[in-house]
Structure 1
Amino acid sequence: METVTITLVLLLAVVASGIFLRVLPFPVPRPLFQIVLGAAIGLFADLRVSLDPEIFFLLFLPPLLFLDGWRIPREELFKDRIIIVELALGLVVVTVAGMGLFIHWLVPAMPLAVAFALAAIVSPTDPIAVSAIANRVPIPKRMLHILEGESLLNDASGLVCFRFAVAAALTGTFSLGDAVLNFVWVALGGLAVGTFVTLAITRAKDWVSERFGEDTGSQILISLLIPFACYLLAEHLECSGILAAVAAGVTMSFAESRGRVMAVTRVRRSTVWDTIQYAANGIIFVLLGEQLPAIVSRAAETVGQPGQHEITWLILYAVAITAGLAALRFTWVWLSLQLTLLRRRDRTTSPSWRIVAAMSCAGVRGAVTLAGVLTLPLTLSDGSPFPARDLAISLAMGVIIVSLLVATFGLPLLLRGLELPPEPSQQAEEDAARIAAAEAAIAEIGRLLSQTADQGKDADLYVAAASQLTDLYHRRIERRSAEGDSAETAQRSDRIEREMRLAALNAERAEIFRKVRRRQLGSETARRLVREIDLLETRYAG
């Protein structure tokens, strides 16, 4: 009963955060507001969440990472693959080495092995936090795709480094060869599990649907279960469950391109996944805030020095570590961009420092960092307490909050007025696709018309309907084929038509609701009609 109550309270907090953010007269970042709300729950409510890191990873990370991998543009991910790998692998290794030494120097009370463990767990950026920031800050598309790709892949390298740093703290030994081999197995094994499990499941469900029909509810449930299946199998094989979930999402996008799923399934499934993403993202940040007061209070003893205020020093340490992470990231991003220009033999241009600073500022830490640092063992091999455990956890939490603050308030300043290379226009590609789709539709209408004419039934009705539809598709082709002034006129015409269609749909819906209120229309019929109107409005509003 207590678990159910906690779950309902967390969901209520997510709902409340959405309402309060609309009521407040000034803009507040949603993740930060949810952390503050969670901290208030932890301080004043008689509610304590015992956060088991393994359960936390299992419940939240697989579906969210799966969805990010599913929806990230594959072409953009492949185009910037070299930069993404440099950030996801090279930057993590440099961060662990450099920040481990820096943290040990900054906080002498923390042993060197624990400092390396803390550096490893704060090295990966968090895809959930990046997505939350992107919803508020207008990040250029290519930069956002690089950040998303990096955050989807760097968890494996960060967690492997973390695992070996903890082992070194427990045993006092470290093997570089074992670490490299373990990383290769963890990364490649996770990618393989996610890919093959998803392919097997999608092929099986397509086979069943083709022979026995498609059930929308089952299709949605299968999509929800795929990331958990991949994650659990990968973890059982001691691979990266995180990479397995990401690979499953990317593989799902390839599988869906075959178009074997019904339209109604795609619409309903998208709505379900949007709801899960909103709720899970919100709960993660509320949980981060709820854990904050207890973590800070436990860390006070470790930080305490004569004449110093513990909380103040915790904040200073968190700011210093975040600044060190940003400095290392700035240097690495600048070098990476320079190498990219050299590979392209472009020696005339140089990356703007503001672009590099924005990439560094956007390195947000989040749920992966907190859940990972909570897996620090309670005791050493000899039974003595694990040194500086609470301090490491509190500093990781501080880095999360400071990095969120820096990204939320720093990115708009860095990107304001910045002239970026123009994003390649996809309008020509879209127009060509629309023309090809319209031509395919016209051909299919002609085939259907000739087939019905041979059968001799309702021929006049088929001819009239075909004439109306082909006229509609021909007008679409003419608009998309226009050039110059004609193209601008066609775009204005599209906009005007969209406005009029939306106004007409609103009038339709209002009239249906009026008839329901007057009991002139049944609720079931009204629900079906309103859904049709809503789907049309979604199409034209988008």
Structure 2
Amino acid sequence: METITIVLVLLLAVIVSGVISRIVPIPLPRPLFQIALGAMIGLVADLRVTLDPEIFFLLFLPPLLFLDGWRIPPDELFKDGKAVLELALGLVLFTVVGMGLFIHWMIPSMPIAVAFALAAVVSPTDPIAVSAIAQRVPIPKRMMHILEGESLLNDASGLVCLRFAIAAALTGAFSVQAAALNFLWVALGGIAVGVGVTWGVSRAKRWVTRRYGEDGGAQILISLLIPFGSYLVAEHVHCSGILAAVAAGLTMGFVETSGEVAATTRMRRNSVWDTIQFAANGIIFVLLGEQLPIILSGAAEIVRTTGHHETWWLAIYVLAINLGLAALRFIWVWVSFRWTLFRAGEWKQQPNWRAVAAMSFAGVRGAITLAGVMTLPLAMADGSPFPARDLAIFLAMGVIIVSLITASIGLPLLLRGLKLPAEPSHLAAEDAARVAAARAAIEAVERAEHAMAEGQADADFYVAAAARVMDMYRDRIERHDIDTPDQPSFREIERIERELRLAGLKAERTELFRMVRRRELGSEIARKLVRELDLLEVRYAA
């Protein structure tokens, strides 16, 4: 009963934090409000959440990483693949080594393996927090795609590094050769498991659907189980469950191109996944805030592990780690941009320092960092407490909070008036796709009309109905034909028409609800009509 109450309180806190973030005029990301609300719950309510690290990892990370991989645009990911890999792999290793040595130098009492573990958990960035900032200060699309791709892959690389650091802390031994070979097995095996599980489940699902029809609820449930199945299978064979979840998400994106899932199932499934993403990310930050009073209450004891007695040393360490992370990221992005310009033959041109600084400030830490640091073992193999675990958790929490605050303040200032190369327009490709789809639809309607009218006495009805449907598609071709000379006027007409259609749909829905309130229309018929209007509104508002 107590566990259920805690879950309900956490979900309510996620909802309330979302409302507060929209009410408060200060442009702060939602995670900060969730952390603050969680801290208030921890201070006022008698709720104490103690999660086993392995359960915490299994519960939150697979679905979030799977969804990131599923929804990231593959073409955008591959277009900037080199930049993404440089940030997701090279920068992570650079950060783990640099920050691991820096943390151990700054806090000698923290064992070097634990310092590397802390560096590994603070190396991944969090796209959810950046997206929350971007809601009020638009981030250029290409920069956002690079940040999304980086966060998708650096989650896996950072957490794999964490796994080796924890193993070194528990065993007291570390072999570079053995770690390299183990890394290959862990990485390649995890990717293979994620691809294999998703592909196998999709083939089996397709076979059942073709023979026995589609069950929308089952389809949604299968999509929810795939990331957990991939994670558990990979961990069972001692591979990376994190990489398995990421690979499963990427594979799901390719599998879905078959287009065999019903439209209504896709819409319902997207709604379910949006809710899970919102709830899971929110709960993680609320839990972070809920843990803060406990961690702060033990600050005096924690600071003694550093060899000091004043608690303000903890704030100095948090700020120093954030400055170190920002400096390493700035250096890496600057060198990466310079190398890109050098390869493009523009070696005399200097990178735009504001763009480099914006990329550095956008390296916000969040849910993955918290999830990773919470997986630090509670005890060593001999039963003794894991060294400096509370200190590592406190520093990781501090890094998350400070990075969120600095990004919410610094990123808008850096992006304001920043001139970046123009994004390539996709309007021509979009128009060509609409025209091709409309032509295919006209051919299909003609074939269906002939098949349906064959042998019917009232064949003229089928011809008239087909003509009305094909006229709609011919109108689309005229509007979007890439050879049309006056494209701007057509697009302006289309925009005005869309706004008028949305106004009409809103009026229709209002009238239907008025009729229901006056008992002039039954609720079942009203639900059907409102759903039709909702589907049309989604189409025109997209």
Q: Same fold (TM over 0.5)?
A: yes
Residues 458/267 of structure 1: CA separation in 2 closer, same or farther (3 Å cut): farther
Per-residue deviation at 1:383? 4.6
**2:533 aligned with 1:533:** yes
- For the aligned residues, what is the CA RMSD? 1.9
Residues 331/525 of structure 1: CA separation in 2 closer, same or farther (3 Å cut): same
**2:188 aligned with 1:188:** yes
Could you say which residue in structure 2 is the equivalent of 1:278? 278
Moved more, 454-463 or 65-74: 454-463
Once residues 525 and 489 of structure 2 are traced to their aligned partners in structure 1, the CA distance between those partners, rounded to angstroms, is 40
Once residues 246 and 32 of structure 1 are traced to their aligned partners in structure 2, the CA distance between those partners, rounded to angstroms, is 26
Could you say which residue in structure 1 is the equivalent of 2:268? 268
Once residues 214 and 285 of structure 2 are traced to their aligned partners in structure 1, the CA distance between those partners, rounded to angstroms, is 37
Per-residue deviation at 1:234? 0.9
Q: Is the 8 A contact 2:14 2:279 kept in 1?
A: yes
Could you say which residue in structure 2 is the equivalent of 1:464? 464
Per-residue deviation at 1:475? 1.5
Residues 387/135 of structure 1: CA separation in 2 closer, same or farther (3 Å cut): same
Once residues 384 and 293 of structure 1 are traced to their aligned partners in structure 2, the CA distance between those partners, rounded to angstroms, is 25
How do 1:97-112 residues align onto structure 2 when only pairs under 5 Å count?
A: 97-112=97-112
Q: Is the 8 A contact 2:61 2:371 kept in 1?
A: no
**2:100 aligned with 1:71:** no
Once residues 173 and 224 of structure 2 are traced to their aligned partners in structure 1, the CA distance between those partners, rounded to angstroms, is 41
What letter is aligned with 2:45? A
Could you say which residue in structure 2 is the equivalent of 1:444? 444
Per-residue deviation at 1:333? 1.2
Once residues 519 and 167 of structure 1 are traced to their aligned partners in structure 2, the CA distance between those partners, rounded to angstroms, is 68
Per-residue deviation at 1:346? 3.5
Residues 321/47 of structure 1: CA separation in 2 closer, same or farther (3 Å cut): same
Residues 331/466 of structure 1: CA separation in 2 closer, same or farther (3 Å cut): same
Once residues 183 and 366 of structure 2 are traced to their aligned partners in structure 1, the CA distance between those partners, rounded to angstroms, is 22
Q: Which runs of 5+ in 2 are unaligned?
A: none
What letter is aligned with 1:376? L
State TM-score, norm by structure 1. 0.95
What letter is aligned with 1:153? L
Per-residue deviation at 1:382? 4.9
Could you say which residue in structure 1 is the equivalent of 2:28? 28
Per-residue deviation at 1:69? 0.7
Once residues 541 and 399 of structure 1 are traced to their aligned partners in structure 2, the CA distance between those partners, rounded to angstroms, is 39
Could you say which residue in structure 2 is the equivalent of 1:7? 7
What letter is aligned with 1:182? N
What letter is aligned with 1:212? Y
Per-residue deviation at 1:323? 0.7
Per-residue CA deviation, residues 250-303 of structure 1 (Å, 9 max, x unaligned), is 111111111111111111111111111111121111111111121232342231
Q: Is the 8 A contact 1:299 1:390 kept in 2?
A: no
Identity across the alignment (%): 69
What letter is aligned with 1:391? L
Per-residue deviation at 1:484? 7.7
**2:329 aligned with 1:329:** yes
Q: Which runs of 5+ in 1 are unaligned?
A: none
Once residues 377 and 9 of structure 1 are traced to their aligned partners in structure 2, the CA distance between those partners, rounded to angstroms, is 27
Per-residue deviation at 1:135? 3.9
Residues 133/58 of structure 1: CA separation in 2 closer, same or farther (3 Å cut): farther
Residues 287/201 of structure 1: CA separation in 2 closer, same or farther (3 Å cut): same
Q: Is the 8 A contact 1:366 1:400 kept in 2?
A: yes
How do 1:406-417 residues align onto structure 2 when only pairs under 5 Å count?
A: 406-417=406-417
3-state SS in 1 of match to 2:425: coil
Moved more, 377-386 or 497-506: 377-386
Once residues 155 and 27 of structure 2 are traced to their aligned partners in structure 1, the CA distance between those partners, rounded to angstroms, is 31
Q: Is the 8 A contact 1:202 1:255 kept in 2?
A: yes
Once residues 382 and 469 of structure 1 are traced to their aligned partners in structure 2, the CA distance between those partners, rounded to angstroms, is 75
Once residues 308 and 108 of structure 2 are traced to their aligned partners in structure 1, the CA distance between those partners, rounded to angstroms, is 17
Once residues 384 and 307 of structure 1 are traced to their aligned partners in structure 2, the CA distance between those partners, rounded to angstroms, is 23
Could you say which residue in structure 1 is the equivalent of 2:168? 168
Once residues 90 and 11 of structure 1 are traced to their aligned partners in structure 2, the CA distance between those partners, rounded to angstroms, is 37
Could you say which residue in structure 2 is the equivalent of 1:427? 427
Moved more, 116-125 or 426-435: 116-125
Once residues 169 and 208 of structure 1 are traced to their aligned partners in structure 2, the CA distance between those partners, rounded to angstroms, is 48
How do 1:299-310 residues align onto structure 2 when only pairs under 5 Å count?
A: 299-304=299-304, 309-310=310-311
Could you say which residue in structure 2 is the equivalent of 1:347? 347
Per-residue deviation at 1:534? 0.9
